[in-house]
Structure 1
C-alpha cells in the first residue's frame, strides 16, 4: 500500500442535527454551520480535503449509508468539532469509534473550545435555521 500525502486525505465532517428548540440551552449543537466551519478549518490547516458534510442525529454507528463513502475510497477521516457533537450524532459515540477502528478509518475531533454565543449570535443561528435563505452569504 502506498503512502498517502496530506492532499490525498479525504475528510467527512460530522455535525449534530439538534432541534432549533435547544438554541438557548445549547447553541453550538444547534449551529451546524459553525460546527462544519470549525471542522473545515481543521482540515484546511492540515492540507486535507473535505469531501463530505454529514448532518446526523442519533444514527446507528453501523448504518450502511455512513460507510458507503469509506468503502468507495472517498473518506479517510471522520472529524467532528468535539465529543459532544459525536454523542449527539450517534446512538453511541463509543460504538462509532470502535467501528472506525475496525474499518481502519481515523476519527478525530477538532479539540478547540466551543464558541460562546451571545444574543446576536443566537439570533443569527435562529434566523438562518428558521428562514434558510436569511443567512445566505453566497456559500
Structure 2
C-alpha cells in the first residue's frame, strides 16, 4: 500500500476516495460511461493499484456540493487523495469542480483524474449495464 510520512515522521497509508457519477439509467443511450458507475469505479481502482494505493471509499454522487460532509468525513489533509476517471465525471458528480478543487487545495488534499480513454460501448455492453441497473433486487450481478 502507498504510504506518506505523517506529522510524526512515521509512514502512514494513503487512502483513496474514488468519485463516480450517479447518472440516471434513462441517459444510457446518450452517455453510457456516466451511467456505468461500475466501470468508473473500476477505472479508479486500476489507477490506485498502479500508484501503489487502494481504494478506501467509493462515492456515487450527482451534483454534490463541494463542502458536503459525504466528501470530507474522515479525510486527512496531506494523506488522502480523491480520484475520478475524468474531469467530465467530476463535472457530473459535483455541483462545481472549481469550488471542489479550491476546497481540496484549502484542506491540503490531492485530486487526481485517471486520464484514460473511456470504454466504447456497443449495444451488448449497454444491455449489460441496463440489466445490472434495472434489476438490482433480482440478484443480478451484471455479468
TM-score (norm 1): 0.90
* 1:100 alignment partner in structure 2: 104
**What is the SS of the residue equivalent to 2:74?**
helix
Q: Pick closer, same or farther for the CA change 1:124–1:136 going to 2, 3 Å.
A: closer
Residues 39-98 of structure 1, C-alpha deviations (whole Å, 9 max, x = no match): 000001111021000001000001123211205x7x700000001100000110111111
Runs of 4+ more than 4 Å apart: none
1:33-48 superposed matches below 5 A: 33-48=38-53
Structure 2 contact 128–142 (Cα < 8 Å) conserved: no
Structure 2 contact 131–142 (Cα < 8 Å) conserved: no
Superposed CA RMSD in Å reads 1.6
**What is the SS of the residue equivalent to 1:62?**
coil
* 2:24 alignment partner in structure 1: 19
- Which of the numbers 131, 135, 141 marks the counterpart of 1:131? 135
Count of aligned pairs between the two proteins: 133
* 1:54 alignment partner in structure 2: 59
* 2:87 alignment partner in structure 1: 83
Q: Pick closer, same or farther for the CA change 1:124–1:36 going to 2, 3 Å.
A: same
- Judging by fraction of residues, say which structure has more strand: 2
1:135 Cα deviation from its structure 2 partner: 2.6
Query: Equivalents in 2 of 1:96, 1:90: separation in Å?
Result: 8
Larger Rg: 2
Query: Equivalents in 2 of 1:3, 1:101: separation in Å?
Result: 23
Question: Which stretches in structure 2 are left out of the alignment for 5+ residues?
Answer: 1-6
TM-score (norm 2): 0.87
- Judging by fraction of residues, say which structure has more helix: 1
Structure 1 contact 43–49 (Cα < 8 Å) conserved: yes
Q: Pick closer, same or farther for the CA change 1:107–1:4 going to 2, 3 Å.
A: farther
